[in-house]
């Protein structure tokens, strides 16, 4: 580790190259993850009143693979940044914004596992019926919650990354509190949207 630290410290061009490479990987992960999450949420919202087909489920699973790839790139580049900071700029590890992002991406990862273990199998089971047909209230809440967590947890790291003014200024707790508030708002909006579609379908049945 000392040898690597010395090599990086004595080669600023190498550090710059590594940093740029990590940024490209990080940006690619954000594009895949956020783009896929937004597209998936919009698609499910659009087709919420229609009969779920096998083709729709295949599209959902296909998009989810891009989101998973984005999450993988996000973790790989994020850990790479932490290691780079540890070796070259240890003061950056004291930035509360970094640890807020780590916390949010950790929540995003757990949510991603829940989507693959619970949401995708549920959507496949709904083939031949509407998306929320026969779903229990707890199931609907979990589905909406997973969607809200996904879209907010992909969006907030992008916002944080685009706001260097927050570096070393805003405490981690404040960032996470704002994140929690956005989650609550997103959940209620998604609940209204999905409930609206379900009620309209019931009224026209």
Q: Burial, 42: exposed, middle or buried (Cβ in 10 Å; 0-12, 13-18, 19+)?
A: exposed
Taking 50 as the threshold, does the pLDDT of residue 200 lie above it? no
Tell me the C-alpha distance between 196 and 40, whole Å: 19
What dihedral do alpha carbons 118, 120, 125, 130 form, nearest 10°?
110
Domain count, the chain: 1
Taking 80 as the threshold, does the pLDDT of residue 195 lie above it? no
Tell me the C-alpha distance between 107 and 75, whole Å: 12
Q: What is the pLDDT of residues 125-135, one digit of tens each?
A: 999 998 888 88
pTM here is 0.85
The Cα-based distances of 174 to 105, 143, 168, 184 in angstroms read 17, 27, 12, 15
Helices 96-114 and 172-204, interaxial angle, to 10°? 30
Domain housing 66? 2-204
Distance of CA 60 to the CA centre of its chain: 16
Q: What is the pLDDT of residues 95-122, one digit of tens each?
A: 999 999 999 999 999 999 999 999 999 9
Q: What is the pLDDT of residues 5-33, one digit of tens each?
A: 555 555 778 888 999 999 999 999 999 99
- Which pair of structure tokens corresponds to residue 29? 């992960």
Q: What is the pLDDT of residues 49-78, one digit of tens each?
A: 889 999 999 999 999 999 999 999 999 999
**Of residues 97, 98, 63, 107, the one with CA closest to residue 77:** 98
> pLDDT > 90: what percent of the chain?
67
Taking 90 as the threshold, does the pLDDT of residue 197 lie above it? no
What dihedral do alpha carbons 137, 143, 149, 154 form, nearest 10°?
-160
Contact 71, 113 (CB under 8 A): no
Tell me the C-alpha distance between 194 and 188, whole Å: 10
| pLDDT for 1 | 52
What mean pLDDT is predicted for residues 141-159?
Answer: 93
| pLDDT for 168 | 93
The neighbouring-strand residues paired with 51 are: 130
Taking 60 as the threshold, does the pLDDT of residue 136 lie above it? yes
């Amino acid at each position: 580790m000392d040898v690597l630290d010395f090599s990086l410290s004595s080669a600023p061009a190498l550090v710059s190259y590594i940093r740029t490479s990590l940024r490209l990987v990080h940006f690619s992960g954000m594009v895949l993850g956020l783009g896929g999450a937004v597209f998936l949420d919009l698609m499910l919202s659009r087709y919420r009143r229609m009969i779920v087909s096998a083709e729709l489920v295949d599209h959902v699973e296909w998009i989810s693979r891009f989101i998973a790839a984005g999450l993988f790139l996000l973790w790989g580049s994020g850990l790479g940044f932490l290691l780079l900071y540890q070796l070259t700029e240890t003061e950056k590890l004291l930035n509360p914004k970094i640890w807020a992002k780590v916390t949010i991406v950790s929540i995003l990862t757990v949510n991603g596992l829940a989507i693959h273990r619970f949401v995708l199998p549920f959507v496949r089971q709904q083939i031949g019926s509407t998306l929320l047909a026969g779903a229990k209230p707890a199931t609907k809440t979990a589905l909406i919650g997973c969607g809200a967590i996904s879209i907010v947890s992909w969006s907030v790291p992008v916002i944080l990354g685009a706001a260097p003014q927050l570096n070393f200024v805003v405490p981690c707790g404040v960032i996470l509190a704002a994140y929690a508030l956005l989650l609550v708002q997103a959940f209620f909006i998604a609940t209204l949207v999905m409930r609206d579609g379900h009620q309209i379908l019931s009224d026209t049945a």
